Structure 1
Amino acid sequence: MSEPLIFSFEPMHEILPRVRAALNGQGEAQLSVPNPDLDLQRFPGERTPQGIWRPLQAWLDLADRLECHLMTPVVRGERLELHLRRLPGASLHRRSKDQERYGADSEFQRLDKLEDPILLDDLLEALARVRLQPGARILDVGVNSGRELQLLDLAYPGHDFQVVGIDVSESALQLARTRFAHYSFRTLDVNNLPHAALGRFDLVLSLGTLQSSGIEQDRVFRTLLRDHLSPGGALILSLPNCRLEAGRLSYGARLLNFRRPDLSLLLKDLALYRRHLQKHGFRVYVTGKYEIVLTAVPQVGPTGDQPTLESAASGS
């Protein structure tokens, strides 16, 4: 390992290429920078006696952009020692020849999205906005192994709901059944919706499913509204805005074969959902960071009317 890169008053446009060169050459880089804890009233870029002030978040963002992991920093008085290390990619989408991509034995099952504090807080806030009544019917589209269903107990402790989860992976659904034996789960391809036996629901929930490859996104979205959402019902969707690599979240949606984030498709999908829902009488909230959460709730008009199923699902 070479000597650490010592930065004090250098601007970020000089730091970025130097750190990138060190990573390209050795796969890791040591940095010594001013300790941001010494003055919490500063703004990024302000000069202090120790150098240019930058919060720890700036170095986390630098590590993310350079596709490496920031090891736990070490405080040395007025200096902060940072160690950035490149890690081999580890995709959650890998599968063997006989393995389901998101099945019970897949890498995907290692992930618990509710360990992301922003997503957890956003989903709890979204569920609170929906104002579910005891006994409400809830459809989880692409439920997989059902981890997110524990949110219902957190948001509505003591409430009983009628929950139906659908997914194409039978092995993942078996995991969901062991976790939530009191709910109902069906093996069903969302592209085959509508399904008359499902009925209508007070809440349709779908986390990161509609953007999956092979999903007829626009048609499935409109089908859910037209055929499976009850009048006065609500919708919660999440759209991935990250990539998972070697146990870390890397910010930003990626197009196929793109190394860098490109948010064009994410923004296109989000605008389509938002425009369609607002046009037909829903109030729409958009929150999130690594996962964008869209919440659509009925908007009561001046006469007290709520959007009907037919008006919400018609048109474009």
Structure 2
Amino acid sequence: MKKFTTHNIHEIMNYLQKNLEQSEEVKIEVLNPDYGFELFAGEQVQLDELYTYHSYKAWNDLSELLFCKLLTPEISSKYTVILTFKKVNKNSSFHNNSYTSNYEKYGEDSLFFRINKNEEPSFLYYYKQALKNAKIENKINILNLGINKADEFALISELLDEKEINSKQFVGIDFSKSAINHAKKRFPYDNFNFYCHDINDLKSLNLKKADLLISIGTLQSSTLNFKKLFMDLFQNYLEENGSLILGFPNCRWHGSEMIYGAKAANYSFSEQSVLYKDVYFCKKYLQQKKYRVTLTGKNYLFLTATSIKK
């Protein structure tokens, strides 16, 4: 284990990268961040010796960039702590899973099904903000494409009271039969309807137009023609002056960790051109239709569109 005092973050990063190539976890001794609460990263403080300051947020960011989990710090001395960087299993990811049936890649027995995005603060905060911006309390017919086990409806149920929930109609669609069966058991109410169905063939469901359309992490699927589907949804499944919430993944899952940054095919690192191209297309299209469009978020970019037609 190496102790770092006045070393900069570049030196520390190089040390960790080199040692993580040969070990599943690496420990380092550094200044306890509690002793530099008002300092900026890289500023120095004189205690028993001279130290360069980094916050726990900086250490956690570094851990994520190195595909590690930062374990609970251990007190080493009056002014220092031991940080443990433990590698996540990059091969254990739902992105890599293969199923005989693609319909169950995201089903009840998959790694994806274990993910609860509502428990990830960087998702929850911005999704909740998007629902408020869309005035969820005023919406009556809510359609969610790619609903999986209905986590998006779960948060809506927490935000509204029972009377408000009962006044609305919820429709969720997903191509995973086991996920839809789970959602039906989770919300066994007359005003919640779930369909195991291909989003490419919505016409056969004869759906009523929604005044709020939600789709998070679904429309960018390689099995869908993104632009064509998006325009079809707006024109045929959204009421006049209805609102949209679209969630664009800007992350990947490695083991149980949500790692920031979208990754395009044929790239070994995060490359976000396709992500921003799709986001910009939707934003420009909706603005032409007289919608106010906001973009928020981090690991998921939330595009919220509300009508400004008079």
Same fold (TM over 0.5): yes
Out of 120, 127, 133, the position equivalent to 1:129 is 133
- In structure 2, what is the Cα distance between the partners aligned to 1:104 and 1:88? 21
Structure 2 residue corresponding to 1:148, chosen from 152, 169, 184:
152
Where does residue 73 of structure 1 map in the other structure?
Answer: 73
Query: What is the deviation of 1:135?
Result: 6.8
Q: Structure 1: which amino acid aligns with 2:239?
A: S
8 Å CA contact retained: 1:92, 1:107: yes
- String of CA shifts for 1:232-276, please: whole Å, max 9, x gaps: 100001011111111111110011243311111111111111111
Query: For 1:214-225, what aligned pairs fall within 5 Å after superposition?
Result: 214-225=223-234
1:193·1:220 contact (CA, 8 Å) conserved in 2? no
Q: Please state how far the C-alpha of 1:196 moved relative to its aligned partner.
A: 6.3
Displacement of 1:195? 4.6
Amino acid at match of 2:7: E
Whole-Å separation in 2 of the counterparts to 1:95 and 1:72:
34
Distance 2:93 2:58 in 1: 26
Native 8 Å contact 2:250 2:275 kept in 1: yes
Structure 2 CA distance, aligned partners of 1:57 and 1:133?
A: 35
Change (3 A) 1:98 1:199: closer
SS of match in other structure, 2:17: helix
How far did residue 148 of structure 1 move? 1.6
Query: Residue 251 of structure 2: which of 242, 252, 257 is its match?
Result: 242
Partner of 2:261: 252
Q: Determine whether 1:173 maps to 2:180.
A: yes
1:28 is displaced (CA, Å) by 2.1
- Judged with a 3 Å threshold, the aligned counterparts in structure 2 of structure 1 residues 170 and 280 are, in CA distance, closer, same or farther, namely same
- Give secondary structure in 1 for the equivalent of 2:22: helix
1:29 maps onto 2:26 in alignment? yes
The Cα shift of 1:10 comes to: 1.2
CA distance in 1, matches of 2:304, 2:246: 7
Equivalent residue number for residue 58 of structure 1: 58
Aligned 8 A contact 1:140 1:204 in 2 = yes
**Amino acid paired to 2:100:** K
1:45 is aligned to 42
Residue 51 (structure 1) shift: 1.1
Q: 1:172 to 1:253 in 2, by over 3 A?
A: same
SS state of the match for residue 26, structure 1? coil
- 1:193 aligns to what SS in structure 2? helix
What is the rounded CA distance, in whole Å, between the counterparts of 1:286 and 1:42 in structure 2? 31
What does residue 308 of structure 1 align with? Answer: none
Structure of greater relative contact order (alpha carbons < 8 Å, 6+ residues apart): 2
Per the TM alignment, residue 132 of structure 1 is displaced from its structure 2 partner at its CA by: 3.6
Q: From the superposition, tell whether residues 258 and 205 of structure 1 become closer, same or farther in structure 2 (CA, over 3 Å).
A: same
Deviation at residue 171 of structure 1 after TM alignment = 1.7
CA contact (8 A) 1:251 1:290 kept: yes
Deviation at 1:173, TM superposition (A): 0.6
Q: Which runs of 5+ in 1 are unaligned?
A: 306-316
What TM-score, normalized to structure 1? 0.89
CA change 1:132–1:290 in 2 (3 A) is closer
What is the CA–CA distance in structure 1 between the aligned matches of 2:159 and 2:129, rounded to whole Å? 8
Task: Check 1:264–1:201 CA distance in 2 against 1; reply closer, same or farther (3 A cut).
Answer: same
Picking from 272, 292, 303, the partner of 1:294 is 303
The aligned counterpart of 1:273 is: 282
Matched, 1:107 2:131: no
Equivalent position amino acid for 2:2 in 1: L
Rounded to whole Å, the distance in 1 between the matches of 2:159 and 2:285 is: 27
| Count of aligned positions | 298
- Say which SS state the counterpart of residue 249 (structure 1) adopts: strand
- For residues 136-162 of structure 1, give each alpha carbon's deviation from its aligned partner in whole angstroms, at most 9, with x where no partner exists: 001101111212211211222231210
**Preserved CA contact (<8 Å) 1:194 1:227:** no
Deviation per CA, 1:169-221: give whole Å up to 9, x if none: 12211011001112111122112234561021110000110112211111111
**Contact 1:140/1:166, CA 8 A, preserved across alignment:** yes
Displacement, 1:285?
A: 1.3
Contact 1:142 1:207 in 2 (8 A): yes
RMSD over aligned Cα atoms: 1.7
Q: Does residue 15 of structure 1 match 2:12?
A: yes
Corresponding position of 2:171: 164
Distance in 2 between residues matched to 1:44 and 1:112, nearest whole Å: 32
The range that moved more, 19-28 or 169-178, is 19-28
Instruction: Tell me, yes or no, if the aligned pair for 2:73 and 2:81 is still in contact at 8 Å.
Output: yes
